[in-house]
């Protein structure tokens, strides 16, 4: 009974699927194959190696501080960092007084103690980086109808994130001739900028890092466009996962322990089964 | 239950004796996973995965209870509270990665466990109930994992909730109302998030209860084994403890090494980048897919692209997806071959391996974008999926000529006249378990 | 049965067989089980410390209060580390009362001077948290009962504090806690 019903159900689904396959294959073969601009021009991120890569990877605090400088001078005009608190910056090598000074250079929302009205005050170490715009509507209005996303998690929110950020920052270029010829609709419109590393090729952010020395580096590193882009993506790798270094160190200890345990468990297993054929 | 030669619980420790007389819990444990449970001596490593699944469930429950101490199920703060766990809670990053990757590993283990059952036909009489309870666990685990994935309230959480509840809207007449009822709104929001959290907390404990039933049912006929030949004599078995506790201990070590390697060094490999973007009801990610463990079913869902007769494609896809899971419940009655183990089923074996490959293909297509050629491949693979269970297995079971089976497990292990003389074993066995002393 | 791998045939008798491996002397087995035990214990550490205050809680900022508008005899209540903080401008009479007490007779001997900042003996800053079981004592807001010693009175179980916030009567064991205080100017105080 069950088997007879089963065979009927089976024949039904298999039949429908084969029918769909034939229909689909027919359309696929007869329909003209449309190539999309994204498909043709979108590029995977360039390869980027960072000191935090790999099992033994560690953050390079000097680089993170330079990267913070780039964020502060360039990106922070439009992008927030809402999951990061000023106190967190101690982890990248700033001391308490420096953290306080950095915090105080930002204005955070507050309530006027006299009138109870919304106002602002200097940031404190315990505060998080403040939002740049009061809300999405304001963000849109100020940015040609595009909301600059928060950057705290950017390198984890994109596939191959650090390399993506680096490639995007250094990837602005003039649209290729072929694009204009074959996909005139995909040419950057007003306020848009061509960048093959961006999923739909044209993004609303104007090239942010454009000139050598745009950010002054205290440690004497030459502030080339490439260097600044690398530094800020390192910084954003840290903001996305400040605990990465601790994670890898803990992982090594845990793995070492587990390997020894597993070897012991194996020997014990062999020992107990020694006289049992199986 | 159990075999007549099973060792009897006989506590020598006065405290254990005292407890056992008043509440025979020590006895229960002894008979369930101690020396009182005789187990076929020839189990291979695939038999480790039951214990591993239990372990993985415990890891989820412990890490989950802890996450729930820091997590806030409210749509405006849920995403931030997960980041709070990652950044500020002591060891929070580790507990979250343990839970998120633990869910994936739970499914890896369960899938191996299920495929073990499929190859060695562990679902056949007298073990149908074990199989049915296992399928209940699997369904509950899928529901739990789906709702858990909604909790961090990232983009994938939000759109996953929308799309999966959208499946129910395919049901004629009541569909749209049902979806609103499930979500408690027109789209996922606080109401949905809160009920998912409540159920996500509850269901694992229901699973634990069903696991107990599953193990209880297992202890009636005892474990099956790679030959599929039932236990006949004492020399076929060894006591669970210390033999299989030792083997499971080793298996657990290997499992933990792999788990730790992923959890500490590639914790986001099995996840999806979009879930690090806070939920945004106004923008769908370009490529939305569920967690990898749902991919084969997702591929089946998307394989239905054309209306058939009067049935819309959407409804067909939903029906097929549910059918592809539910048909597993009927497996014991679809495959009627008297032989259990795939080892002795020459006709079954190639079809089984085709099936394994088909499921892997479905998984791959389910994770790929809904474009050609993936859709066409999914259609062929899905067709085989249904045909395998509903047409091929029933037919094989009536036409196949199985290979000769060994007379017993002992014979399979030691050969017809194995060095380990069965007579000697039996005599020593009566003295209570020094059975293994004679030199081999 | 568990004696299966024992090297000593003497131990294989009816009694020991049932001890479920407790007597197993095999070093490697003991080592494996101990290792598992150590691992299990190590895992408890993160599982327990996760409940301790998280980094954001520990980092709660210090606060600054402006007391220029606080007249003698008045008090203000603000919030410090999620708990009430009492700031009281003592009148000369209250200061006198506090200094008149024989310190040795107190449950927690402390002078008013020890509980205030030098040069600002009239500004008494204490936590508004009863040291008994944590209720908020009365006496800071206008019109509230100040207790038998004219300072604060905790109605939960009847603790009386004097004008220096010291415990004088009732179940509370210690004086109201004085947090770290720094005068940034004559009227602006930094607490914490
Ligand atoms: C069968 C057992 C379980 C499975 C398969 C499971 C699965 C999941 C999954 C897939 C997530 C999303 C992970 C992420 O990407 O962040 C999650 C999150 C969560 N689960 Fe579970 N879970 C289980 C048991 C539990 C239990 C017993 C609890 C609580 C008592 C719990 C509490 C939570 C909480 C609070 C979250 C949100 C925090 C987060 O996303 O990291 N889970 N679960
Ligand atoms: S809490 Fe104040 S007297 Fe008990």
List CB contacts (< 8 A) between B336 and chain A. 3
Catalytic status, residue B88: no
Structure tokens at B321: 């997806």
* B177 pLDDT above the threshold of 80: yes
Query: Rounded to an integer, what distance in angstroms lies between the CA atom of residue C20 and that of residue B30?
Result: 9
Q: From start to end of B76-195, where are the E strands?
A: none
Task: Give the pLDDT mean for B41-60.
Answer: 97
pLDDT in tens, A129-163: 999 999 999 999 998 889 999 999 999 999 999 99
Q: What is the pLDDT of residue B440?
A: 30
Indicate if ligand 2 lies below 6 Å from the C-beta of C130: yes
Exposed / middle / buried, residue A31 (Cβ in 10 Å: 0-12, 13-18, 19+): exposed
**pLDDT above 50 (res C127):** yes
| Residues A210 and A173 sit within 8 Å (Cβ to Cβ) | no
- Whether A165 has a pLDDT exceeding 80, the answer reads yes
Query: What's the confidence (pLDDT) of residue B154?
Result: 97
- Residue B17: CB atoms within 10 Å: 14
Nearest CA to CA, how far is C36 from chain B (Å)?
A: 9
* Stretch (H or E) spanning C153: strand C150-154
> Ligand 2: does its nearest atom lie under 6 Å from the Cβ of C166?
no
Taking CA–CA distances from C39, the nearest residue in chain A reads A257
Shortest CA gap B262–chain A (Å): 9
Atom from ligand 1 closest to the CA of residue B100: 13
**Mean pLDDT across B258-281:** 96
CA of B93 to the centre of ligand 1 (A): 14
pLDDT for the residue B210: 98
Within a 13 Å sphere around the CA of B139, how many CA atoms are in the beta-carbon half? 16
Catalytic residue among B122, B223, B382, B408: B223
* Cβ-based contacts of C27 with chain A (< 8 Å): none
Say whether residue B436 is in contact with chain C using an 8 A CB cutoff: yes
Whole-number Å distance, alpha carbon A88 to ligand 1 midpoint, is: 27
Examine the residue annotation and report whether C132 is marked as an active-site residue of this protein. Answer: no
Whether B76 and chain A come into contact, CB under 8 Å, resolves to no
Write down the ipTM of this complex. 0.94
The pTM (predicted TM-score) of the whole model is: 0.89
Nearest listed ligand to the Cα of residue B107: 1
Check if B62 contacts A (Cβ < 8 Å): no
Residue B418: its pLDDT value, please? 52
d(CA A33, CA B70): 51
Rounded Cα gap, residues B369 and C164, in angstroms: 73
Interface of A with B in 62-101 (CB under 8 A): 83, 88
Q: For C13-74, what is the HEC assignment?
A: CHHHHCCCCCCCCCHHHHHHHHHHHHHHHHHHHHHHHCCCCCHHHHCCCCEEEECCCCCCCC
Estimate to the nearest angstrom the gap between the alpha carbon of A274 and the chain centroid.
Answer: 53
Q: Is the pLDDT reported for residue C81 higher than 80? A: yes
Tell me the average pLDDT of chain B: 92
Confidence of residue B427 (pLDDT cuts 50, 70, 90): very low
pLDDT at B408 over 80: yes
pLDDT at C61: 63
B291 is catalytic: yes
* Nearest atom, ligand 2, residue C158 CA: 3
From chain C, the residues in CB contact with B242 under 8 A are: 2, 4, 21, 24, 29
pLDDT tens column, C93-112 = 999 999 999 999 999 999 99
Q: Is A124 on the interface with C (CB under 8 A)?
A: yes
**% of chain B with per-residue pLDDT over 90:** 88
Atom of ligand 1 at shortest range from CA of B67: 35
Chains that touch A (3 or more CB pairs under 8 A): B, C
Across the interface, of B12, B62, B241, the residue whose CB is closest to C21 is B241
| Higher pLDDT, residue B436 or A2 | A2
Determine whether B162 is an active site residue. Answer: no
Higher pLDDT, C5 or A250: A250
DSSP string, B245-282: HHHHHHHHHHHHHHHHHHHHH-TTTTS-GGGGSB--TT
**Of the residues C135, C139, C169, C177, which should be mutated to test ligand 2's pocket, given the most ligand atoms within 8 Å of the CB?**
C135
Q: Which of C4, C32, C56 lies nearest to residue A264, judging by beta carbons?
A: C32
Residue B329 CA to residue B311 CA, distance in Å, equals 25
What distance in Å separates the CA atoms of residue A138 and residue A133, rounded to the nearest whole number?
6
Number of Cβ within 10 Å of residue B422's Cβ equals 18
pLDDT at residue C25, as a whole number: 53
Using one digit for the tens of pLDDT, what is the confidence trace for A197-245? 999 899 999 999 999 999 999 999 999 999 999 999 999 999 999 999 9
Q: What is the mean pLDDT of residues B324-343?
A: 95
Give dist(CA A21, CA A259) in Å, integer. Answer: 49
CA distances from B386 to A231, B199, B307, B312, B340 (A): 53, 31, 19, 19, 21
> Of all residues in chain C, what percent carry a pLDDT higher than 90?
64
For residue B307, pLDDT over 50 is answered with: yes
What would the mean pLDDT of C74-81 be, rounded to a whole number? 90
Q: Minimal Cα distance from C4: which residue of A?
A: A272
């Amino acid at each position: 009974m069950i088997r007879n019903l089963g065979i009927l159900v089976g024949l039904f689904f298999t039949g429908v699927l084969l029918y769909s396959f034939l229909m689909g294959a027919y359309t696929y073969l007869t329909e003209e194959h449309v190539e999309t601009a994204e498909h043709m021009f979108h590029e995977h991120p360039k390869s980027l190696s960072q000191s935090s890569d790999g099992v033994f990877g560690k953050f390079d605090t000097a680089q993170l501080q330079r990267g913070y400088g780039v964020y502060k001078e360039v990106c922070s005009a439009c992008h927030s960092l809402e999951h990061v608190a000023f106190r967190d910056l101690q982890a990248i090598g700033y001391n308490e007084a420096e953290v306080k000074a950095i915090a105080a250079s930002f204005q955070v929302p507050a309530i006027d103690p006299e009138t109870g009205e919304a106002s602002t005050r200097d940031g404190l170490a315990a505060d998080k980086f403040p939002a740049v715009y009061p809300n999405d509507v304001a963000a849109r209005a100020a940015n040609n109808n595009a909301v600059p996303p928060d950057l705290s998690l950017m390198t984890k929110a994109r596939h191959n994130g650090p390399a993506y950020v680096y490639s995007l920052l250094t990837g602005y270029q003039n649209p290729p001739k072929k694009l204009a010829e074959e996909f005139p609709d995909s040419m950057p419109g007003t306020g848009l900028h061509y960048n093959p590393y961006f999923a739909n090729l044209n993004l609303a952010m104007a090239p942010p890092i454009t000139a050598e020395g745009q950010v002054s580096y205290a440690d004497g590193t030459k502030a080339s466009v490439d260097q600044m882009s690398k530094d800020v993506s390192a910084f954003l790798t840290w903001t996305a996962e400040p605990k990465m270094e601790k994670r890898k160190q803990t992982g090594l200890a845990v793995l070492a322990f587990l390997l020894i345990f597993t070897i012991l468990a194996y020997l014990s297993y062999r020992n107990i089964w020694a006289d049992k054929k199986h | 239950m159990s075999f007549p030669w099973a060792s009897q619980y006989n506590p020598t420790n006065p405290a254990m004796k005292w407890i056992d007389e008043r509440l025979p819990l020590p006895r229960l444990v002894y008979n369930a996973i101690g020396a009182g449970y005789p187990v076929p001596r020839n189990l291979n490593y695939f038999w480790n995965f039951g214990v591993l699944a239990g372990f993985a469930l415990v890891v989820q429950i412990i890490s989950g209870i802890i996450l729930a101490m820091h997590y806030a199920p409210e749509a405006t703060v849920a995403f931030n509270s997960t980041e709070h766990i990652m950044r500020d809670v002591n060891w929070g990053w580790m507990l979250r990665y343990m839970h998120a990757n633990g869910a994936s590993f739970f499914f890896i283990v369960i899938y191996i466990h299920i495929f073990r059952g499929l190859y060695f036909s562990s679902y056949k009489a007298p073990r149908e109930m074990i199989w049915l309870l296992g399928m209940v666990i699997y369904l509950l685990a899928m529901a739990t994992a789906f709702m858990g994935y909604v909790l961090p309230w990232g983009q994938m959480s939000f759109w996953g909730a929308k799309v999966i509840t959208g499946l129910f809207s395919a049901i004629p007449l009541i569909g749209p109302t049902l979806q609103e009822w499930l979500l408690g709104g027109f789209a996922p929001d606080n109401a949905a998030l809160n009920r998912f959290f409540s159920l996500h907390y509850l269901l694992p404990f229901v699973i634990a209860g069903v696991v107990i039933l599953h193990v209880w049912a297992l202890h009636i006929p005892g474990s099956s084994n790679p030959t599929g030949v039932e236990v006949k004599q004492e020399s076929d078995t060894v006591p669970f403890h210390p033999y299989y506790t030792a083997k499971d201990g080793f298996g657990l070590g290997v499992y933990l090494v792999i788990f730790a390697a992923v959890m500490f060094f590639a914790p986001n490999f099995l996840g999806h980048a979009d879930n690090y973007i806070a939920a945004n009801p106004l923008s769908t990610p370009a490529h939305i897919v569920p967690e990898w463990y749902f991919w084969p079913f997702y591929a089946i869902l998307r394989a239905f692209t054309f209306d058939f007769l009067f049935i819309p494609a959407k409804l067909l896809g939903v029906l097929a997806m549910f059918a592809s899971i539910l048909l597993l419940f009927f497996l014991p009655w679809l495959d009627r071959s008297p032989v259990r183990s795939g080892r002795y089923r020459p006709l079954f074996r190639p079809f089984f391996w085709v099936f394994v490959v088909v499921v892997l293909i479905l998984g791959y297509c389910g994770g790929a974008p809904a474009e050609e050629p993936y859709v066409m491949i999914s259609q062929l693979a899905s067709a085989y999926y249904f045909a395998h269970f509903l047409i091929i297995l029933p037919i094989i079971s009536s036409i196949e000529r199985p290979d000769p089976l060994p007379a017993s497990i002992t014979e399979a292990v030691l050969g017809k006249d194995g060095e380990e003389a069965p007579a000697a074993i039996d005599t020593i066995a009566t003295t209570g378990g020094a059975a293994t002393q004679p030199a081999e | 049965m568990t004696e299966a791998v024992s090297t000593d045939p003497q131990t294989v008798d009816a009694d020991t067989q049932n001890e479920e491996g407790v007597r197993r002397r095999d070093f490697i087995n003991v080592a494996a089980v101990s290792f598992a035990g150590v691992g299990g214990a190590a895992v408890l550490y993160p599982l327990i410390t996760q409940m301790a205050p998280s980094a954001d809680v520990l980092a709660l900022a210090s606060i600054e209060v402006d007391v220029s508008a606080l007249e003698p005899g008045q008090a203000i209540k603000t919030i410090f580390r999620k708990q009430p903080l009492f700031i009281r401008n003592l009148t000369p009479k209250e200061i006198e009362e506090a200094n008149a007490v024989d310190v040795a007779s107190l449950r927690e001997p402390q002078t008013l001077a020890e509980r205030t900042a030098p040069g600002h003996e009239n500004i008494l800053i204490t936590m508004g948290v009863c040291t008994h079981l944590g209720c908020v004592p009365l006496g800071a807001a206008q019109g509230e009962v100040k207790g038998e010693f004219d300072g604060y009175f905790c109605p939960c179980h009847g603790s009386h504090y004097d004008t220096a916030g010291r415990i004088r009567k009732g179940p509370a064991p210690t004086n109201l806690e004085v947090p770290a205080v720094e005068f940034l100017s004559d009227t602006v105080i930094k607490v914490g």
